[in-house]
Structure 1
Amino acid sequence: MEWKVTLSSKELKDQEEAARINQSVTSLLVHGSRNFVVSSNGNQVPVTELEGKTVGPYFSLCVHRACVDFTPKLLEVYEKLKAREESFEIVQIPLDDDEASFNQSSGSMPWLSLPFKDKKCEKLVRYFKLSTLPTLVIIGQDGKTVHPNVAETVEEHGITAYPFTPEKFAELAEIEKKREESQTLESILVSGDLDFVIGKDGTKIPVSDLVGKTVLLYFSAHWCPPCRAFLPVLTEAYEKIKATDDAFEVIFICSDKDQTAFDDYFAPMPWLALPFGVERKNFLSHEFKVKGIPILVAIGPTGRR
Structure 2
Amino acid sequence: MSKPDYQATNLPLWDFLTILASEGVDFLLSGEEDKVPSSSLDYEKTTICLFFSANWCRPCQSFTPKLVQLYNMLRTMGKELEIVFISLDHDEDGFNAHFETMPWLTVPFDVNLHKKLRERFHVVRIPFLVPLNLDGQSVEEDLIGLIEDFGEDAFPFTNKRREELKAIDDSKRQGGKIDQLLARPGRDYVVASDGGKVLVSKLIGKTVGLYFGAHWCPPCRAFTAQLVEAYNQLLSSRGDCFEVVLVSSDRDQKEFDVNISGMPWLALPFEDRTRQDLCRIFNIKAIPALVLIGPDGKPISTNGKNIITLYGAKAFPFTQSSIEEIEESLRKEGDSLPRQIQDIKHQHVLKLDMAKAYVCNYCERLGKFWAFSCDACDYDLHPTCVEEAS
Q: TM-score range by the shorter chain?
A: 0.5 to 0.7
Question: CA offsets, 1:73-105, max 9 Å, x none?
Answer: 2223245556xxx5x532122345634422422
Rounded to whole Å, the distance in 2 between the matches of 1:304 and 1:95 is 47
Look up the SS of the partner of 2:51 in the other structure.
strand
**What's the offset of the Cα at 1:210?**
7.0
- Identity over aligned residues, as a percent? 19
**What's the offset of the Cα at 1:178?**
4.0
Q: Does 1:251 align with 2:245?
A: yes
- The residue type equivalent to 2:180 in the other structure is S
Question: Contact conserved, 1:30 with 1:36, CA < 8 A, in 2?
Answer: no
Q: 2:214 aligns with which of 201, 212, 220?
A: 220
Question: Contact conserved, 1:214 with 1:249, CA < 8 A, in 2?
Answer: yes
Q: 1:26 aligns with which of 10, 14, 17?
A: 17
Bigger drift between 20-29 and 65-74 goes to: 20-29
1:77 matched residue in structure 2: 74
Q: Does 1:235 align with 2:225?
A: yes
Question: Contact conserved, 1:139 with 1:147, CA < 8 A, in 2?
Answer: no
- The residue type equivalent to 2:209 in the other structure is V
- Within 5 Å, give how 1:71-220 maps onto structure 2: 71-78=68-75, 80-81=77-78, 89-95=82-88, 98-106=94-102, 109=103, 111-116=104-109, 118-122=111-115, 124-125=117-118, 127-131=121-125, 133=127, 135-141=128-134, 146-151=139-144, 153=146, 156=150, 158=152, 161-162=155-156, 164-182=157-175, 184-190=177-183, 195=189, 197-198=191-192, 208-209=202-203, 211-220=205-214
Rounded to whole Å, the distance in 1 between the matches of 2:43 and 2:191 is 52
Look up the SS of the partner of 2:142 in the other structure.
coil
Bigger drift between 68-77 and 183-192 goes to: 183-192
Question: Contact conserved, 2:10 with 2:133, CA < 8 A, in 1?
Answer: no
Question: CA offsets, 1:238-275, max 9 Å, x none?
Answer: 7479879977654334436455x555444555x52327
Structure 1 residue runs of 5 or longer lacking an equivalent are: 1-15
2:367 matched residue in structure 1: none
- What's the RMSD between the two structures over aligned residues? 4.8
Structure ranking higher on relative contact order (CA contacts 8 Å, 6+ apart): 1
1:58 matched residue in structure 2: 51
- The residue type equivalent to 1:101 in the other structure is A
1:285 matched residue in structure 2: 275
- The residue type equivalent to 1:74 in the other structure is Y
Look up the SS of the partner of 1:102 in the other structure.
helix
Look up the SS of the partner of 1:24 in the other structure.
helix
Q: Give the TM-score taking structure 1 as reference length.
A: 0.62
Question: CA offsets, 1:161-198, max 9 Å, x none?
Answer: 33x44444444444554454445223333577864553
Structure 2 residue runs of 5 or longer lacking an equivalent are: 1-6, 300-390
Greater Cα radius of gyration, structure 1 or 2: 2
Question: Contact conserved, 2:8 with 2:141, CA < 8 A, in 1?
Answer: no
Inter-CA distance 38–211: structure 2 relative to 1 (3 Å threshold): same
Rounded to whole Å, the distance in 2 between the matches of 1:129 and 1:36 is 23
Look up the SS of the partner of 2:275 in the other structure.
helix
